[in-house]
Structure 1
Amino acid sequence: MNIERDLKRIAQQEACLRYTRFDASDAWRLGCRLQALAAERKASVAIEIRVNGQRLFFCAMPGATPSNEDWIRRKSHTVDHFRRSSYAVGLGLNRDQTTLEAKIGASTADFATHGGSFPIALTDSVCIGSVTVSGLPQRQDHALVVEALCDCLNQPLSSLALEE
């Protein structure tokens, strides 16, 4: 894994994977797409979509645990604060050899800089919420969200996926 290459690709994902508008119907379609992808892979994940602080979609797949919901809460707080994917924030901290606590005084009880939460942003660059997955290794959580967003936004996954 090359952190700089991944950070550039994630910035590209964040720039391309935007909605012109996003409402409860869009949240349902995105959540159902994530659920279908998770079911195909037999992934024991929890999925949440939040907009303006309101939960619009939640699903716990077989094998998901209550701790997945806590990870979702903490990952989505990271997106809410930074308006970036939780994976990008974590990779940036890793690159800079620091922690969120050292950088802004944030506690790991409230924030998680592991992959899996991605901003729901509008084309006018406004971040209105987050889509979050928890239960897989962090890079796979991030990749699952990106794949579902690509599907829903008719974007080519091949040009946006992180390299293996």
Structure 2
Amino acid sequence: MAETVQSRITELQLHEEELVFPGFDHRDAWNLGSLITSQAIAAGHGVAIDIRRHNVVLFRCVLPGATADQEEWIRRKSASTLRFERSTALLSEEFAAKDFDPAQGGWLAPEDYTLAGGSFPVRVQGAGVVAAVTVSGLSSDDDHRLVVDSIREFLRTPAG
């Protein structure tokens, strides 16, 4: 069991090492958000998609089938990613491996943060984390996968 957890943590760490942007501006946010939206529509996913720099929303789309709950999940997931500068999927696995619940004892207020997968840092070479890309509406793993697969495709395109 511990080997499985460690291999998942290693996989998630590799996502963050691999998916680094050469730069990221408003146009990139629009293009990446549009790509995620197109992939979600093609797959029939009712999700909400958000790209933000702290409280500045750079891209937002809510597809049919998403619920009002997705707004809260996005707010809390992106807050976690921007605070720790890591994906919520990685944070979730790391805390679970340490058998530590950061909501206990008031360390992370559950009304402000969550470790559910689906939020990923926009890390720019030489600048660090500048934004968070967040999807909500699927399982934590599927939200994470949609974001990671989309970022990977975006970075492979000449314009991305």
Aligned match of 1:159: none
Runs of 4+ in 1 over 6 A off after TM superposition: none
Aligned equivalent of 1:126:
128
SS of 2:17's equivalent in the other structure is helix
- SS state of the match for residue 12, structure 2? helix
Q: Residue in 1 aligned with 2:31?
A: 29
Using the size of structure 1 for normalisation, the TM-score is 0.90
Aligned residue for 2:80, secondary structure, equals: helix
Structure 1 residues 94 and 16: CA distance shift in structure 2, 3 A: same
Verify the 8 A CA contact 1:87 1:139 in the aligned structure 2.
Answer: yes
In structure 2, runs of 5+ residues without a counterpart are: none
Aligned mate of 2:70, from 64, 68, 71: 68
What is the 5 A alignment of 1:9-158?
9-102=11-104, 105-124=107-126, 126-154=128-156
Distance 2:105 2:31 in 1: 36
2: distance between equivalents of 1:3 and 1:45? 27
Q: Per-residue CA shift, 1:93-138, capped at 9, x if unaligned?
A: 1111111123771111100101000000101251011000000000
Q: What is the RMSD of the two structures over their aligned residues, measured on CA atoms?
A: 1.6
Partners of 1:42 and 1:58 in 2: how far apart? 18
CA contact (8 A) 2:88 2:117 kept: yes
TM-score when normalising by structure 2: 0.92
